[in-house]
Amino acid sequence: MEPLIATQDLKKVYRVGKVEVHALRGVDLVVQEGEFVAVVGPSGCGKSTLLHILGGLTPPTSGRVLVDGNDFMAMSDAERTRFRRHKIGFVFQRYNLLPTLTARDNIRIAQHIQGNGFNPHRFAMVTEMLGIADKLNRKPYALSGGEQQRVAIARAIICEPKILLADEPTGNLDSENSQIVLNMLRTLNRTFRQTILMITHNPEAAAVADRIVRMRDGRIVGS
């Protein structure tokens, strides 16, 4: 079976003035559909850079990225943006909710941006599964960090993306809320076969994944 994600000799060099930062030094990563993969490694080893490239947010300096059989580099910017909206959901450490909108509208705006009509069945299923169905009228300030992250996850998956990319999703949460969010990611993966690639430097978070990819200094050193 063709993998959902495949990178080949992926490299990323950031240029800051005259200084070159080699963030990725040749990454070959394969993720199969339905896998829950954790990417771990010390701060600065290139985890976020890898996730941003896989999500089409940042171009690599060289190498190939194939997502669901599509070569990112062969796409125009507009094609890549459309691809990202339809196939990829993002969750970040800071929940990035719009502060003036209710939880409901924060989630619905994702369906709107994607150009999909409102799907009430999907909306009810996702918000119930994430335990936020009774909090939808609240704005972010009236939600706990754990609840805000669950709204952000709902927003990320409402349009049924092929891949959920999560960058330190429990990084701002206490251990109880971390456990709740991790259990929900686990359930999402098991129940909907949601493919998840999650960056973390918390060993307990990594332990909920099926597979742990270890990075160091821009390379994968174990998988």
Contact residues: ligand ADP, CB under 6 A? 14, 16, 21, 23, 41, 43-49
49 binds Mg ion (CB under 5 A): no
**DSSP one-letter code for 133:** G
Binding-site member from 10, 36, 38, 48 for Mg ion (CB under 5 A): 48
Rounded least distance, CB 167 to ligand ADP, Å: 7
Min separation Cβ 213 and ligand ADP, Å: 12
Query: 206, 38 in Cβ contact below 8 A?
Result: yes
Q: How far apart are CA 93 and CA 213, in angstroms?
A: 19
Question: Which of Mg ion, ligand ADP, none does 23 bind, CB closer than 5 to 8 A by kind?
Answer: ligand ADP
- Which residue, 181 or 199, has its beta carbon nearer to Mg ion? 199
Rank residues 194 and 200 by Cβ distance to Mg ion and give the closer one: 200
DSSP 152-216: HHHHHHTT--SEEEEESTTTTS-HHHHHHHHHHHHHHHHHH--EEEEE-S-HHHHTTSSEEEEEE
Calculate the alpha carbon distances from 2 to 75, 121, 137, 147 in Å: 20, 31, 42, 36
Q: How far is the CB of 48 from ligand ADP (least distance, A)?
A: 3
Shortest Å distance, C-beta 22 to ligand ADP: 8
> Of the two residues 41 and 161, which places its CB atom closer to ligand ADP in the complex?
41
Interhelix angle 175-192/145-157, nearest 10 degrees: 20
Q: How many residues of this chain interact with Mg ion, rule: CB under 5 A?
A: 2
Query: How far is it, in rounded angstroms, from Cα 188 to Cα 161?
Result: 12
Question: Which lies closer to Mg ion via its Cβ, residue 35 or residue 167?
Answer: 167
Task: Give the C-alpha separation, 40 to 76, whole Å.
Answer: 31
Residue 44 contacts which entry, ligand ADP, Mg ion, none (Cβ below 5-8 A, type-dependent): ligand ADP
Question: Which chain residues interact with Mg ion by CB under 5 A?
Answer: 47-48
